[in-house]
Amino acid sequence: MDFFQAIILGLVEGFTEFLPISSTGHLVLAGRLLGLAQSDFLKFFEVFVQAGAVMAVVVLYWEIFLKNWLIWKKIMLAFLPSAILGFLFYKIIKRFLGDFSVILWALALGGLFLIIFEILYAKKRKNQPLATDISYKQALSIGFCQCLAMIPGVSRSAATILGGLYLGIERKIIVEFSFLLAAPTIIAASIFDFYKTIIDWSGNNMSIQDLWSLALGFMVSFVVALLAVKFLIRYIQRHSFISFGVYRIVVAVLFYFLVIRLAS
Protein backbone atom coordinates (compact mmCIF):
# COMPACT_ATOMS: atom_id res chain seq x y z
CA MET A 1 0.00 0.00 0.00
CA ASP A 2 1.42 3.39 -0.99
CA PHE A 3 0.76 6.71 0.76
CA PHE A 4 -1.85 7.87 -1.78
CA GLN A 5 -3.90 4.73 -1.19
CA ALA A 6 -3.56 5.16 2.59
CA ILE A 7 -4.84 8.75 2.34
CA ILE A 8 -7.82 7.75 0.18
CA LEU A 9 -8.81 4.95 2.54
CA GLY A 10 -8.39 7.30 5.51
CA LEU A 11 -10.71 9.81 3.83
CA VAL A 12 -13.28 7.13 3.10
CA GLU A 13 -13.20 5.78 6.67
CA GLY A 14 -13.33 9.18 8.34
CA PHE A 15 -16.30 10.32 6.29
CA THR A 16 -18.33 7.11 6.41
CA GLU A 17 -17.76 5.71 9.92
CA PHE A 18 -20.55 7.64 11.61
CA LEU A 19 -22.91 7.92 8.65
CA PRO A 20 -25.48 5.12 8.14
CA ILE A 21 -23.81 3.91 4.95
CA SER A 22 -21.29 1.28 6.19
CA SER A 23 -17.67 2.35 6.55
CA THR A 24 -16.44 -1.26 6.28
CA GLY A 25 -18.33 -1.75 3.04
CA HIS A 26 -16.94 1.47 1.60
CA LEU A 27 -13.39 0.59 2.65
CA VAL A 28 -13.59 -2.78 0.93
CA LEU A 29 -15.10 -1.26 -2.22
CA ALA A 30 -12.57 1.60 -2.23
CA GLY A 31 -9.76 -0.91 -1.86
CA ARG A 32 -11.10 -2.75 -4.90
CA LEU A 33 -11.13 0.48 -6.95
CA LEU A 34 -7.57 1.24 -5.84
CA GLY A 35 -6.45 -2.18 -6.99
CA LEU A 36 -5.55 -3.42 -3.53
CA ALA A 37 -5.67 -7.18 -3.12
CA GLN A 38 -7.38 -8.57 -0.02
CA SER A 39 -4.67 -9.36 2.51
CA ASP A 40 -4.18 -9.66 6.26
CA PHE A 41 -2.47 -6.26 6.28
CA LEU A 42 -5.32 -4.57 4.42
CA LYS A 43 -7.88 -6.02 6.84
CA PHE A 44 -5.76 -4.83 9.76
CA PHE A 45 -5.40 -1.39 8.14
CA GLU A 46 -9.19 -1.11 7.80
CA VAL A 47 -9.68 -1.80 11.50
CA PHE A 48 -6.81 0.48 12.52
CA VAL A 49 -8.12 3.54 10.64
CA GLN A 50 -11.52 2.97 12.24
CA ALA A 51 -9.80 3.64 15.56
CA GLY A 52 -8.67 6.97 14.11
CA ALA A 53 -12.27 7.90 13.43
CA VAL A 54 -13.26 6.91 16.96
CA MET A 55 -10.62 9.23 18.40
CA ALA A 56 -12.60 12.09 16.86
CA VAL A 57 -15.57 11.12 19.05
CA VAL A 58 -13.33 10.93 22.11
CA VAL A 59 -12.07 14.45 21.41
CA LEU A 60 -15.52 15.91 20.73
CA TYR A 61 -17.24 14.22 23.67
CA TRP A 62 -14.35 14.00 26.16
CA GLU A 63 -16.37 15.61 28.95
CA ILE A 64 -19.01 12.88 28.76
CA PHE A 65 -16.38 10.15 28.76
CA LEU A 66 -14.64 11.64 31.81
CA LYS A 67 -17.53 12.95 33.88
CA ASN A 68 -20.76 11.10 33.09
CA TRP A 69 -20.47 7.68 34.72
CA LEU A 70 -24.18 6.95 34.20
CA ILE A 71 -23.83 7.24 30.42
CA TRP A 72 -20.68 5.12 30.57
CA LYS A 73 -22.55 2.28 32.26
CA LYS A 74 -25.20 2.33 29.55
CA ILE A 75 -22.57 2.44 26.81
CA MET A 76 -20.72 -0.54 28.26
CA LEU A 77 -23.99 -2.47 28.61
CA ALA A 78 -24.76 -1.77 24.94
CA PHE A 79 -21.22 -2.81 24.02
CA LEU A 80 -21.52 -6.19 25.74
CA PRO A 81 -23.49 -8.16 23.06
CA SER A 82 -21.12 -7.25 20.22
CA ALA A 83 -18.10 -7.94 22.43
CA ILE A 84 -19.28 -11.47 23.19
CA LEU A 85 -20.50 -12.33 19.68
CA GLY A 86 -17.51 -10.66 18.03
CA PHE A 87 -15.14 -12.80 20.10
CA LEU A 88 -17.07 -16.00 19.39
CA PHE A 89 -17.49 -15.43 15.64
CA TYR A 90 -14.24 -13.57 14.86
CA LYS A 91 -13.02 -16.04 12.22
CA ILE A 92 -16.39 -16.17 10.46
CA ILE A 93 -16.61 -12.36 10.37
CA LYS A 94 -13.11 -12.08 8.92
CA ARG A 95 -13.89 -14.72 6.32
CA PHE A 96 -16.78 -12.70 4.89
CA LEU A 97 -15.19 -9.26 5.34
CA GLY A 98 -14.08 -9.01 1.72
CA ASP A 99 -17.08 -10.78 0.14
CA PHE A 100 -18.30 -8.23 -2.42
CA SER A 101 -21.63 -9.92 -3.06
CA VAL A 102 -22.45 -9.85 0.68
CA ILE A 103 -21.43 -6.19 0.92
CA LEU A 104 -23.44 -5.11 -2.12
CA TRP A 105 -26.56 -6.98 -1.00
CA ALA A 106 -26.22 -5.52 2.49
CA LEU A 107 -25.78 -2.00 1.10
CA ALA A 108 -28.79 -2.28 -1.21
CA LEU A 109 -31.16 -4.00 1.22
CA GLY A 110 -30.00 -1.77 4.05
CA GLY A 111 -30.71 1.29 1.92
CA LEU A 112 -34.18 0.02 1.10
CA PHE A 113 -34.81 -0.67 4.78
CA LEU A 114 -33.66 2.87 5.69
CA ILE A 115 -36.16 4.39 3.26
CA ILE A 116 -39.08 2.19 4.35
CA PHE A 117 -38.28 2.65 8.03
CA GLU A 118 -38.12 6.44 7.80
CA ILE A 119 -41.48 6.58 6.01
CA LEU A 120 -43.16 4.31 8.56
CA TYR A 121 -41.35 5.93 11.47
CA ALA A 122 -42.50 9.42 10.46
CA LYS A 123 -46.11 8.26 10.32
CA LYS A 124 -45.95 6.25 13.50
CA ARG A 125 -44.18 8.84 15.65
CA LYS A 126 -45.63 12.04 14.26
CA ASN A 127 -47.80 12.97 17.24
CA GLN A 128 -46.27 10.78 19.91
CA PRO A 129 -43.82 11.85 22.63
CA LEU A 130 -40.22 10.68 22.31
CA ALA A 131 -37.87 9.45 25.02
CA THR A 132 -35.52 12.07 26.43
CA ASP A 133 -33.08 9.57 27.88
CA ILE A 134 -31.92 6.00 27.31
CA SER A 135 -32.80 3.29 29.81
CA TYR A 136 -30.65 0.25 30.56
CA LYS A 137 -33.14 -1.96 28.72
CA GLN A 138 -32.99 0.30 25.67
CA ALA A 139 -29.17 0.37 25.83
CA LEU A 140 -29.01 -3.42 25.81
CA SER A 141 -31.48 -3.59 22.91
CA ILE A 142 -29.34 -1.11 20.95
CA GLY A 143 -26.34 -3.32 21.69
CA PHE A 144 -28.06 -6.30 20.07
CA CYS A 145 -28.95 -4.10 17.08
CA GLN A 146 -25.27 -3.22 16.75
CA CYS A 147 -24.48 -6.93 16.32
CA LEU A 148 -26.15 -6.78 12.89
CA ALA A 149 -23.18 -4.70 11.75
CA MET A 150 -21.01 -7.81 11.94
CA ILE A 151 -22.40 -8.49 8.47
CA PRO A 152 -20.17 -6.46 6.10
CA GLY A 153 -22.10 -3.61 4.51
CA VAL A 154 -24.86 -3.37 7.14
CA SER A 155 -23.47 -0.27 8.95
CA ARG A 156 -23.00 -0.06 12.67
CA SER A 157 -24.38 3.49 12.74
CA ALA A 158 -27.51 2.56 10.81
CA ALA A 159 -28.21 -0.49 12.98
CA THR A 160 -27.88 1.39 16.26
CA ILE A 161 -29.63 4.58 15.15
CA LEU A 162 -32.62 2.83 13.59
CA GLY A 163 -32.82 0.51 16.57
CA GLY A 164 -32.94 3.51 18.87
CA LEU A 165 -35.55 5.29 16.78
CA TYR A 166 -37.72 2.17 16.82
CA LEU A 167 -37.46 2.15 20.62
CA GLY A 168 -38.77 5.73 20.69
CA ILE A 169 -35.53 7.54 21.46
CA GLU A 170 -35.26 11.10 20.20
CA ARG A 171 -33.21 11.37 16.99
CA LYS A 172 -30.34 13.55 18.22
CA ILE A 173 -29.96 11.52 21.42
CA ILE A 174 -29.66 8.17 19.64
CA VAL A 175 -27.24 9.58 17.06
CA GLU A 176 -24.94 10.85 19.80
CA PHE A 177 -25.31 7.59 21.75
CA SER A 178 -24.29 5.74 18.59
CA PHE A 179 -21.19 7.97 18.39
CA LEU A 180 -20.29 7.19 22.00
CA LEU A 181 -20.95 3.46 21.59
CA ALA A 182 -18.47 3.40 18.70
CA ALA A 183 -15.60 4.16 21.08
CA PRO A 184 -15.45 0.92 23.11
CA THR A 185 -16.70 -1.15 20.17
CA ILE A 186 -14.07 -0.13 17.65
CA ILE A 187 -11.22 0.32 20.12
CA ALA A 188 -11.82 -3.20 21.45
CA ALA A 189 -12.01 -4.55 17.88
CA SER A 190 -8.73 -2.79 17.01
CA ILE A 191 -6.93 -4.18 20.06
CA PHE A 192 -8.25 -7.69 19.49
CA ASP A 193 -7.42 -7.53 15.78
CA PHE A 194 -3.91 -6.33 16.58
CA TYR A 195 -3.50 -9.25 18.98
CA LYS A 196 -4.72 -11.74 16.37
CA THR A 197 -2.39 -10.13 13.83
CA ILE A 198 0.59 -10.74 16.10
CA ILE A 199 -0.47 -14.36 16.74
CA ASP A 200 -1.72 -15.42 13.30
CA TRP A 201 0.22 -13.24 10.90
CA SER A 202 3.20 -11.75 12.76
CA GLY A 203 3.36 -7.97 12.61
CA ASN A 204 7.13 -8.28 12.09
CA ASN A 205 6.36 -8.70 8.40
CA MET A 206 5.27 -5.07 8.18
CA SER A 207 7.65 -2.77 6.38
CA ILE A 208 8.48 0.82 7.36
CA GLN A 209 6.16 2.00 4.58
CA ASP A 210 3.36 -0.15 6.01
CA LEU A 211 3.82 1.52 9.39
CA TRP A 212 3.79 4.98 7.81
CA SER A 213 0.68 4.03 5.84
CA LEU A 214 -1.06 3.01 9.08
CA ALA A 215 -0.11 6.28 10.75
CA LEU A 216 -1.17 8.36 7.75
CA GLY A 217 -4.50 6.58 7.36
CA PHE A 218 -5.15 6.97 11.10
CA MET A 219 -4.53 10.73 11.09
CA VAL A 220 -6.55 11.40 7.94
CA SER A 221 -9.43 9.34 9.29
CA PHE A 222 -9.32 11.26 12.59
CA VAL A 223 -9.44 14.73 10.98
CA VAL A 224 -12.17 13.86 8.48
CA ALA A 225 -14.28 12.12 11.15
CA LEU A 226 -14.26 15.34 13.22
CA LEU A 227 -15.99 17.08 10.33
CA ALA A 228 -18.32 14.15 9.57
CA VAL A 229 -19.65 13.97 13.14
CA LYS A 230 -20.44 17.68 13.17
CA PHE A 231 -22.06 17.37 9.74
CA LEU A 232 -24.37 14.54 10.82
CA ILE A 233 -25.49 16.33 13.98
CA ARG A 234 -26.48 19.36 11.89
CA TYR A 235 -28.02 17.25 9.15
CA ILE A 236 -30.40 15.29 11.37
CA GLN A 237 -31.91 18.49 12.75
CA ARG A 238 -33.70 19.08 9.42
CA HIS A 239 -33.55 15.87 7.39
CA SER A 240 -34.40 12.19 7.60
CA PHE A 241 -32.06 9.33 6.60
CA ILE A 242 -33.89 8.64 3.34
CA SER A 243 -31.15 10.27 1.26
CA PHE A 244 -28.61 7.89 2.81
CA GLY A 245 -30.86 4.98 1.89
CA VAL A 246 -31.00 6.14 -1.74
CA TYR A 247 -27.23 6.63 -1.73
CA ARG A 248 -26.63 3.07 -0.49
CA ILE A 249 -28.77 1.60 -3.26
CA VAL A 250 -27.06 3.73 -5.94
CA VAL A 251 -23.59 2.72 -4.73
CA ALA A 252 -24.53 -0.97 -4.68
CA VAL A 253 -25.93 -0.83 -8.21
CA LEU A 254 -22.97 1.15 -9.59
CA PHE A 255 -20.41 -1.23 -8.09
CA TYR A 256 -22.32 -4.22 -9.37
CA PHE A 257 -22.29 -3.00 -12.97
CA LEU A 258 -18.96 -1.12 -13.03
CA VAL A 259 -16.84 -3.58 -11.05
CA ILE A 260 -18.35 -7.03 -10.76
CA ARG A 261 -20.16 -7.26 -14.12
CA LEU A 262 -17.23 -5.79 -16.06
CA ALA A 263 -14.78 -8.09 -14.27
CA SER A 264 -16.82 -11.13 -15.28
Q: Is the dihedral of CA 158, 117, 241, 31 positive or negative?
A: positive
Those residues with Cβ within 8 angstroms of residue 56's Cβ, 6 or more apart along the chain or in another chain: 14, 222, 223, 225, 226, 228, 229
Nearest to 179 by CA among 151, 160, 155: 160
Those residues with Cβ within 8 angstroms of residue 264's Cβ, 6 or more apart along the chain or in another chain: none
Q: Look at 226 and 233; give whichever has higher pLDDT.
A: 226
136: containing domain: 3-263
CA angle 220, 63, 160 (to 5 degrees): 65
Tens-digit pLDDT profile for residues 146-167: 998 888 788 888 999 999 988 8
The number of domains in the chain is: 1
Please report the pLDDT score of residue 130 as a whole number: 44
Cα separation, 19 vs 244, whole angstroms: 8
Residue 129: pLDDT band by 50, 70, 90 thresholds? very low
Q: 47 and 193 in contact (C-beta within 8 Å)?
A: yes
